[in-house]
């Protein structure tokens, strides 16, 4: 059972959100939960994220997914390790694997908490491009690891015409094998080959998020096809596997770090470009149906120089709807520090809407009263 919610007063009260500053938990330790995802459940908000150790080694997983809990989004109690790495070198979650961007959703039918995350087996860089799945009966876990997959093996995307539903020809395979695909934009990016190459083994899935719609349908959104194309994939009713319906979004546009939210019946998605740990310009897109068509609206960040060019020196991970404040959303991003991973910082900023379009402005110190 979760021990959440403090009968003892915290040692230190956070009264404001200070983007980029060290954010301390109720025991005065820096919060260690990067690439975060959030879950509101029974009056408590849970913050899940990558626990990072010091130094460059911290770019891989040595502890697992940590979880914090809060009733006010300012003061957080450390609820422990929700999903632990394994000491067994043969285990997929062995220490030194890569666990990124964990997201947790609650399935009302099964009454289980379901975690998805980007998994790279140890020692193989980012070649695995797999999705890990874990479940728990309580929000803070511990979660039980179910295994990993590459989504949608043997299934054609919705948006692909029947004449393109073909395995690669021998000539196409040779052409593809000769291309260098570094995970970022290249002029020769083959928009129509990669999902076909990966048809039988499953689609690549790196940066990811989960989104639960008002009707309870849950979606897994991930950077696929060597990071060049996003996929939106409907999960099964128990949220444990892909349902077999998915769409390709913005082929060849290289979107990472997807964060989805719904405002006044429309779907919005904030993403970054692909430049590894180094920040770049955010983009926001909108759609009336989650299946698209999606329209790109440009950079949601306002301000000067570094603020618009580097998303406030950060990269999106989640858009957090503020409990009990309909229409209030917080942009949650990571300021990565790959040379000393544990020193990565959190950049939380309020989202405003101008003529129905989300915008984000720098604010060095703010509180939830900003939404009143």
Task: Give the interface with ligand GAL as residue ranges (CB under 6 A).
Answer: 35, 100-101, 207, 256-257, 274, 276-277, 315
Rounded least distance, CB 311 to ligand GAL, Å: 12
User: Cα dihedral angle (167, 171, 174, 179), rounded to 10 degrees?
Assistant: -90
Instruction: Considering the complex, state which of residue 139 and residue 279 has its C-beta at the smaller distance from ligand GAL.
Output: 279
Of 14 and 223, the one with the shorter C-beta distance to ligand GAL is 223
Strand boundaries in 121-241, DSSP class E: 130-136, 144-149, 208-212, 218-224, 229-235
The distance of closest approach from Cβ of residue 164 to ligand GAL in the complex, given in angstroms and rounded to an integer, is: 28
Shortest gap between Cβ of 207 and ligand GAL (angstroms)?
Answer: 5
Is the backbone peptide bond immediately before 142 cis, with ω within 30 degrees of 0?
A: yes
User: What is the C-alpha R_g of the chain?
Assistant: 20
| Cβ at position 38, least distance to ligand GAL in Å | 17
d(CA 107, CA 12): 34
Nearest CB to ligand GAL, comparing residues 49 and 251? 49
Question: Residue 177 phi/psi, 5° resolution?
Answer: -65, -25
Residue 252 or 276: the one with the smaller Cβ distance to ligand GAL is 276
Query: How far apart are CB 203 and ligand GAL at their closest, in Å?
Result: 17
For ligand GAL, give the closer residue by CB, 202 or 258.
258
3-state DSSP percent of the chain in helix, strand and coil, to 5? 10, 40, 50
Q: Please confirm whether the linkage preceding 108 is cis (ω < 30° from 0).
A: no
**Considering beta carbons, is residue 132 or 139 the nearer one to ligand GAL?**
132
Which single residue brings its beta carbon nearest to ligand GAL? 276
Q: How far apart are CA 233 and CA 159, in angstroms?
A: 12
Phi, psi values for residue 306, rounded to 5°: -60, -30
Residue 122 CB, nearest distance to ligand GAL (Å)? Answer: 15
Alpha-carbon span 42 to 316, nearest angstrom: 26
Query: Locate tokens 């949650």: which residue?
Result: 332
Residue 327, Cβ neighbours under 10 Å: how many? 11
Nearer Cβ to ligand GAL (92/120): 120
Q: Measured from the CB of residue 336, what is the shortest distance to ligand GAL in angstroms? A: 7
């Amino acid at each position: 059972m979760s021990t959440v919610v403090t009968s003892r007063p915290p040692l230190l009260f956070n009264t404001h959100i200070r983007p980029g500053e060290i954010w301390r938990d109720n025991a005065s330790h820096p919060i260690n939960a990067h690439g975060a995802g959030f879950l509101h459940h029974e009056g408590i908000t849970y913050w899940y994220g990558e626990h990072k150790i010091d130094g460059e080694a911290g770019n891989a997983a040595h502890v697992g997914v940590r979880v914090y809990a809060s009733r006010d989004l300012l003061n957080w109690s450390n609820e422990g390790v929700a999903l632990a790495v394994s000491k067994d070198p043969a285990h997929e979650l062995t220490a030194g694997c890569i666990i990124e961007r964990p997201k947790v959703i609650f399935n009302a039918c099964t009454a289980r908490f379901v975690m998805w995350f980007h998994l790279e087996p140890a020692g193989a860089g980012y070649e695995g491009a797999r999705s890990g799945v874990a479940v728990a009966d309580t929000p803070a876990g511990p979660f039980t690891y179910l295994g990993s997959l590459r989504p949608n093996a043997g299934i054609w995307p919705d948006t692909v015409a029947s004449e393109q539903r073909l395995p690669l020809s021998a000539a196409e395979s040779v052409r593809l094998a000769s291309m260098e695909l570094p995970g970022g934009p290249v002029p020769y990016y083959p928009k129509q080959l990669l999902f076909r190459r990966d048809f039988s083994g499953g689609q690549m899935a790196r940066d990811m998020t989960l989104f639960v719609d008002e009707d309870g349908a849950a979606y897994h959104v991930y950077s696929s096809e060597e990071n060049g194309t996003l996929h939106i994939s409907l999960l099964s009713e128990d949220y444990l596997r892909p349902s077999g319906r998915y769409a390709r979004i913005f082929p060849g546009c290289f979107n990472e770090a997807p964060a989805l939210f719904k405002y006044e019946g429309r779907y919005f998605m904030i993403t970054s470009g692909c430049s590894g740990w180094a920040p770049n310009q955010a983009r926001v897109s909108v759609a009336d149906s989650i299946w698209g068509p999606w329209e790109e609206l440009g950079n949601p960040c306002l301000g000067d120089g570094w603020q618009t060019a580097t998303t406030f020196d950060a990269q999106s991970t989640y858009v957090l709807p503020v409990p009990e404040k309909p229409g209030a959303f917080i942009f949650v991003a990571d300021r990565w520090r790959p040379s000393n991973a544990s020193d990565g910082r959190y950049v939380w900023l309020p989202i405003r809407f101008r003529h129905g379009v989300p915008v984000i402005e720098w604010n060095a110190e703010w509180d939830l009263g900003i939404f009143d």
